[in-house]
Amino acid sequence: MQTKQLEELLAAMLRAGATSLHLIPGRPPCLRVQRRLVRSDDVPIVVGDVEELTKDLLFEDHRQRLRRNGQVEVLYVSRSGHRFRTTVMLQDGGQTMLMRPVPETPPEVAQLELPPQLTSFTQFRSGLVLITGFFGSGKSTTIAALLDRLAGESPRHLVSIEDPIEFLFPTKQALIHQREVGVHVASFADGVREAMRLGADVIAVSDLRDAETLDGLLAAVEGGALVFAALDASSVVGAMNELAGLVLPEERPRLRTRLATALRAVSAQTLLPRSHHQGRVPLIEVLINNSAVRAAIRQGAFSDLAGIMQRYRGLGMQTTDVALRGLLARHLITQEDALQYVVDRDQVLLRAGTAGAPGQNRAT
C-alpha cells in the first residue's frame, strides 16, 4: 500500500465521521462508523502493505517495543494536517494497523460527561490519581481534559510524559512541558526523573507499565507533587492488583504502605454506546481514599474496596452498579448494554426504574 492510498482512506474516514480505520492483512480496509465496521471497496490488504507503511512511521526504538510487547503506538500526521493515534500490532507474523483521529486540542471536561467527582481531582494539591481502563476506553482523553482544566485553574508547572503525544495543550495559566517517550526522553521512568529535576508541581504519565516508573511517581508524590497516571485495568480492584503485580512479591508490603499514603483517587472507565444517538457515554467507577481504603490497601485486601465504595457513596465514591443506574435513569444507555457490566442485576434495574419496562429485553 502506498502512502497516497492511506491518505485517501484517512480522508474518507474523516468525511464519514468514522472513529477508526483498520488495516488487517487478508481483509479490505475497514472503517468503524456508528458502531459498525464498514468495508471499503479496495482489494484486501496483504502482509507487506502495513510493513511498507511503517518503514518511515516507526523508529528503531518503536520497532524494539513492537517486538517486545507485540504492539506500539505512534502519532501519524496526514498531509492535510490531521493527527491520528496509530497502533501497530503483530498478528500471525505480520503487522496490523489501527488509526484513530485525534483532535488538535484536548476536549473540555464538560464535553466528556464525566461525573462531577472526577472534575474535582484537579483540586488536589498533591497525591496519586489513577485513571484506568483498557484500550479504547477513553482514559487518555479523560486525563487530557483534566490536565487542560487544571492548566486553566492555577499557575502550576505541569510536565506530561506521553507515548505518543496526542493532544497539544494551549497556553493557559500553567507552564506546560510535553515530553514524548523515544523522542524527548528514553522511557517513562526517565521522564518522571526529569520532571522532578525540573521541579514540576504536576506530573502526568500516559501509561504506567513498570515498577521503575511506579517508584518514581510515588517518590514524586512524596516530594509534594500531584501525579496523574493512566493504567490498563477494567476496575478499581483490578487496578490495585495490577500495581501490586508490577513489583516482586517481597516488595509488595512496602509498596502497599506507600500507596495507602500517596493515593488520592482511582477511576475505572469504559465507554458504552448511547441508546438513541451516535457516540458513546462513559461508565465510571470511582474510589476516593479515606481511612477504610488506606487500611484495605495496607492489608492487601483489595477485594474489600468494592464494598467500601458502596458504603461511602456520600464521599463521592461510585461503584459500577451505581454508575449504571444513573445512566439508565437518564436513558443514555440500553438495558441490554447495562446487563453486560452489572454486578447486582435486580438492584440496578429496579432502582433505575427500568425492570420490565416496555421494549426492554430482560436477561434470562
DSSP letters for 74-87: EEEE-TTS-EEEEE
Strand partners, 161: 179, 205
Residues ≥6 apart with Cβ < 8 Å to 260: 289, 293, 294, 295, 297, 298
Q: Is residue 71 within 8 Å of 87, Cβ to Cβ? A: yes
Alpha-carbon span 169 to 172, nearest angstrom: 9
Nearest alpha carbon to residue 162 among 95, 219, 213: 213
Q: Which domains does the chain have, with CATH numbers?
A: 3-102 (3.30.450.90), 109-318 (3.40.50.300)
Alpha-carbon span 333 to 341, nearest angstrom: 12
For 61, 70, 88, 177, the CA distances from 95, given in Å and listed in that order, are 16, 9, 7, 33
pLDDT of amino acid 363: 35
What pairing do the DSSP bridges indicate for beta strands 263-273 and 280-288? antiparallel
Please name the helix (run of DSSP H) or strand (run of DSSP E) that holds residue 320, with its range, or none.
Answer: helix 320-329
Cell numbers linked to 51: 510493513
Q: Is residue 13 within 8 Å of 29, Cβ to Cβ? A: no
For 31, 163, 362, the CA distances from 204, given in Å and listed in that order, are 31, 12, 42
Cell numbers linked to 34: 456508528
Tens-digit pLDDT profile for the chain (364 aa)?
778 889 989 998 888 888 899 999 888 999 988 768 888 877 888 888 888 888 888 888 888 888 888 888 888 888 888 889 899 999 876 899 999 888 878 888 888 989 989 999 999 999 999 999 988 888 999 999 999 999 998 899 999 999 888 888 888 899 999 999 888 999 999 999 999 999 999 999 999 999 999 999 999 999 999 999 999 999 999 999 999 999 999 999 999 999 999 999 999 999 998 887 777 899 999 999 999 999 999 999 999 999 999 999 989 999 999 999 999 989 999 988 888 888 887 777 766 665 544 334 333 2
